Amino acid sequence: MADNKKMVESITPMDTDFAKWYTDIVKKAELIEYSSVKGCMIIRPYGYAIWELIQKDLDRRFKETGHENVYMPMFIPESLLQKEKDHVEGFAPEVAWVTHGGQEELAERLCVRPTSETLFCEHYANIIQSYRDLPKLYNQWCSVVRWEKTTRPFLRSREFLWQEGHTAHATPEEAIAETERMLNVYADFCKETLCMPVVKGRKTDSDKFAGAEMTYAIEALMHDGKALQAGTSHYFGDGFARAFGITFADKDNKLSYVYQTSWGVTTRLIGGIIMTHGDDNGLVLPPAVAPIQVIIVPIAQHKPGVLEKANEIAEQLKKKFRVKLDDSDNTPGWKFAEYEMKGVPLRLEIGPKDIENNQCVLVRRDNREKYFVPFDNLESQIEEILKVYAENIYNKAYENMQKRTYDCKSIDEIKQVLAEKGEGFIKAMWCGDEACEDSVKEQTGVASRCIPFEQERISDKCVCCGKEAKHLLYWGIAY
């Protein structure tokens, strides 16, 4: 057996090269294939199935909070994009332009949407007349294009799939409440569905979305100690409304501008799942988004009765779980490794011995724990194990985040922590001055991630200038 090790398709260990480990998983778990255009990836069935499960869960949450889905065009005329000054400036460096239709040059070039605020605003200006038309709670699922310079599968691609919510409200209070509510929807989703702990907070002014008055974000911490912005929710005030003329007549028949929000998450979440839960054997999927929750591996499948029983179990379990029976000619060992690579939460082994004993074997992906389970107790056992499994991977991720979160009171402490413990979340006080934010980044390499909602006062002084501190800030090195 040892002689065959060289044939084993394994992945680069995390500790050897984290970036290589990541791309190995992405390829070998058959999530994506590179395409011939830089930064554009082919999302393969297994990868897309994860996205579909993410979509389904989030979409339910959006509908439950009163949102409706729409679809906007993918092209934005240049003049429309330019209506809001900060917005164009933020996005201009990374938009792709369409300049020709067939052989003819267009009179006005069209940008491929990098985000759809301008389209929603143009539309809202047309359809909102009265306070009775508010609020407008719209969302769209689509892809957007940003011409990134350095690209990585899921984490930063030039075209990516996402969802963008765009809402319009009569008052600032209502819009801010919406911004916060959707950030909470994202955080709950990350915890409950992706088993991924996040820090909720507000972005500093320098880190706000182009055109936003306030940007909220959820930040997750990856296995290598780098931070991943997993979702954002923006409050626009009436800035866009003024630029686009979105007005409504209120109850007193006075004309007012609407207050708006937007919020989004992307396929980047899949990258987050990989780097939060994965290990040296491959992907580890949260049960709620695992395209296959239980993989059935028959042992000695040519022996009479084995495949029959395996099929019977598969049919029975299909009613409750996403199940696959692999009756291919590959050896059991090959199948074990294959579905571990793909992060399938539970493996069900069934062979002649099991059938004799009226039981089968369940093996967890997260810790390889084995269970011998009688046939008549299978469904409730699987349900129970998946629940424990989800809790376990969440707890592991949470502990990793705690372990890699450090309180620092000075620049030197930050440097020391980074040198001794490696990358992670740095908690440090900040005076609110952008100069200090820049200075910390320049001196230590960590940038501000967010001002967490859960504020603590670990010191009275700004970590940089020593003046009175206004906020506790999370810092880190981001993806």
Partner RNA sequence: CGGGAUGUGGCUCAGCUUGGUAGAGCGCUUGGUUUGGGACCAAGAUGCCGCAGGUUCGAAUCCUGUCAUCCCGACCA
Q: Are strands 471-476 and 214-221 parallel, antiparallel or unpaired?
A: unpaired
Question: Which residues 134-153 are close enough to bind RNA by CB under 7 A?
Answer: 146, 148-153
Question: Which residues 38-57 are close enough to bind RNA by CB under 7 A?
Answer: 38-39
**For residues 428 and 415, what is the distance between their CA atoms, to the nearest angstrom?**
12
Whether 210 contacts 86, CB under 8 Å: yes
Please state, in angstroms and as integers, the Cα–Cα distance from residue 36 to each residue in 22, 41, 68, following that order.
Answer: 20, 9, 36
465 interacts with RNA by CB under 7 A? no
Decide whether 136 or 437 has the Cβ nearer to RNA: 437
Decide whether 106 or 337 has the Cβ nearer to RNA: 337
Among 74, 80, 249, 337, binds RNA (CB under 7 A): 337
Decide whether 94 or 460 has the Cβ nearer to RNA: 94
Decide whether 170 or 296 has the Cβ nearer to RNA: 296
455 interacts with RNA by CB under 7 A? no
Decide whether 156 or 409 has the Cβ nearer to RNA: 156
450 interacts with RNA by CB under 7 A? no
Among 60, 85, 353, 467, binds RNA (CB under 7 A): 353
**For residues 442 and 436, what is the distance between their CA atoms, to the nearest angstrom?**
10
344 interacts with RNA by CB under 7 A? no
Question: Which residues 181-210 are close enough to bind RNA by CB under 7 A?
Answer: 209
Decide whether 125 or 355 has the Cβ nearer to RNA: 355
Classified as helix, coil or strand, 14 is coil
**For residues 265 and 298, what is the distance between their CA atoms, to the nearest angstrom?**
39
Classified as helix, coil or strand, 408 is coil
Name the one range near RNA by CB under 7 A: 5-13, 170-178, 237-245, 450-458.
5-13
Residue 101 is classified by DSSP as E
- The DSSP bridge partners found for residue 474 are 427, 450
| Alpha carbons within 13 A on the beta-carbon side of 468 | 1
To the nearest 10 degrees (0 to 180), the angle between helices 18-28 and 268-277 is 110
Decide whether 91 or 248 has the Cβ nearer to RNA: 91
Min CB(7)–RNA separation in Å: 4
Min CB(248)–RNA separation in Å: 29
**For residues 259 and 235, what is the distance between their CA atoms, to the nearest angstrom?**
8
CA nearest neighbour of 259 among 184, 177, 200, 185: 177
**For residues 290 and 270, what is the distance between their CA atoms, to the nearest angstrom?**
11
**For residues 219 and 229, what is the distance between their CA atoms, to the nearest angstrom?**
5
Among 156, 191, 320, 324, binds RNA (CB under 7 A): 156
261 interacts with RNA by CB under 7 A? no
Min CB(85)–RNA separation in Å: 16
**For residues 429 and 448, what is the distance between their CA atoms, to the nearest angstrom?**
11
Total residues binding RNA (CB under 7 A): 68
179 interacts with RNA by CB under 7 A? no
340 interacts with RNA by CB under 7 A? yes
478 interacts with RNA by CB under 7 A? yes
Please state, in angstroms and as integers, the Cα–Cα distance from residue 289 to each residue in 269, 321, 335, 380, following that order.
Answer: 11, 12, 21, 20
Among 70, 75, 352, 375, binds RNA (CB under 7 A): 352
Among 179, 261, 293, 301, binds RNA (CB under 7 A): 301
165 interacts with RNA by CB under 7 A? no
Min CB(336)–RNA separation in Å: 4
Residues 6+ apart with CB under 8 A from 318: none
Residue showing tokens 């089968």:
360
Name the one range near RNA by CB under 7 A: 59-67, 116-124, 155-163, 405-413.
155-163
19 interacts with RNA by CB under 7 A? yes
Min CB(92)–RNA separation in Å: 11
Q: Is the peptide bond before 135 cis (omega within 30 degrees of 0)?
A: yes
| Alpha carbons within 13 A on the beta-carbon side of 340 | 19
To the nearest 10 degrees (0 to 180), the angle between helices 411-421 and 434-444 is 40
Among 213, 349, 366, 437, binds RNA (CB under 7 A): 349
419 interacts with RNA by CB under 7 A? no
To the nearest 10 degrees (0 to 180), the angle between helices 306-318 and 378-403 is 70
**For residues 162 and 186, what is the distance between their CA atoms, to the nearest angstrom?**
13
Site string for RNA, 77-96 (x = CB under 7 A): ----------------xx--
| Residues within the interface to RNA (CB under 7 A) | 1, 3-4, 6-10, 19-20, 22-23, 34, 36-39, 93-94, 146, 148-153, 155-158, 160, 209, 229, 232, 266-268, 281, 299-302, 329-338, 340-341, 347, 349-354, 360-361, 363, 368, 445, 478-479
